[in-house]
């Protein structure tokens, strides 16, 4: 993302937070803001609309976010809106989160299973991933019954397939290559 619009905004915010020593606070607020933005698409459309006056946009931002965010986060949100970059806010926050994770040596991993992981299995999986990656693991879980069984792990741009469906697909491909 370096050099991209969202990367530039994320880096600027990241460096500002490092200077102000409020990286953890702003990171937490950016995750919250990302959730708000994701659930309120009409807010982004309103803030991006060219027919809405800038003063009206600032008024809405102030009413909705000023008391919910730190000065750093609120001011950053206002700059993004003023520069008419609000439609990129989700990507900016993702880039900021990536910088934060790199700084804090965190790896976000998604475990996809057919049933929720037991506490014991979750703890063992996290411990194994931390020992292999030498990073702090933040594990999120998704349920997908189409994988039939097993587990699929996704992180960064990597997917580790351990699902029964994947094994069946591989077996089917081998059989088809012999028959063909």
pLDDT per position as a tens digit, 128-157: 999 999 999 999 999 999 999 999 999 998
Question: Can you tell me the distance from the alpha carbon of 44 to that of 29, in angstroms, rounded to the nearest whole number?
Answer: 17
State the DSSP string of 53-97: -HHHHHHHHHHHHTTTS-HHHHHHHHHHHHTT-GGGHHHHHHHHH
The answer to whether 9 and 92 have CB atoms below 8 angstroms apart is yes
Question: Can you tell me the distance from the alpha carbon of 171 to that of 142, in angstroms, rounded to the nearest whole number?
Answer: 25
* Tokens of residue 112, six digits: 């996809």
Helix, strand and coil in the chain, % to nearest 5:
65, 15, 20
The least confident of 83-87, 108-112, 116-120 is: 83-87
What is the model's pLDDT at position 48?
Answer: 87
Reduce the DSSP state of residue 2 to 3 states and report it.
Answer: coil
Q: At what angle do helices 5-20 and 23-39 cross, to 10 degrees?
A: 140
pTM (2 decimals)?
0.84
């Amino acid at each position: 993302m370096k050099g991209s619009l969202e990367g530039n905004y994320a880096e600027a915010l990241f460096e500002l937070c490092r200077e102000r020593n409020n990286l953890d606070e702003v990171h937490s607020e950016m995750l919250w803001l990302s959730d708000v933005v994701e659930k309120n698409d009409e807010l982004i459309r309103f803030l991006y609309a060219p027919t809405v006056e800038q003063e009206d946009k600032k008024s809405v931002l102030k009413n909705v976010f000023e008391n919910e965010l730190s000065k750093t986060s609120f001011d950053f949100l206002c700059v993004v809106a003023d520069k008419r970059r609000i439609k990129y806010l989700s990507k900016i926050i993702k880039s900021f989160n990536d910088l934060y994770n790199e700084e804090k040596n965190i790896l976000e991993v998604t475990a996809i299973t057919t049933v929720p992981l037991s506490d014991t299995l979750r703890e063992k999986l996290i411990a194994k991933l931390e020992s292999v990656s030498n990073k702090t693991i933040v594990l999120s879980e998704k349920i997908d019954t189409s994988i039939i069984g097993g587990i699929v792990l996704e992180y960064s741009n990597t997917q580790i397939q351990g699902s029964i469906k994947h094994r069946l697909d591989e077996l089917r491909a081998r059989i088809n290559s012999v028959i063909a």
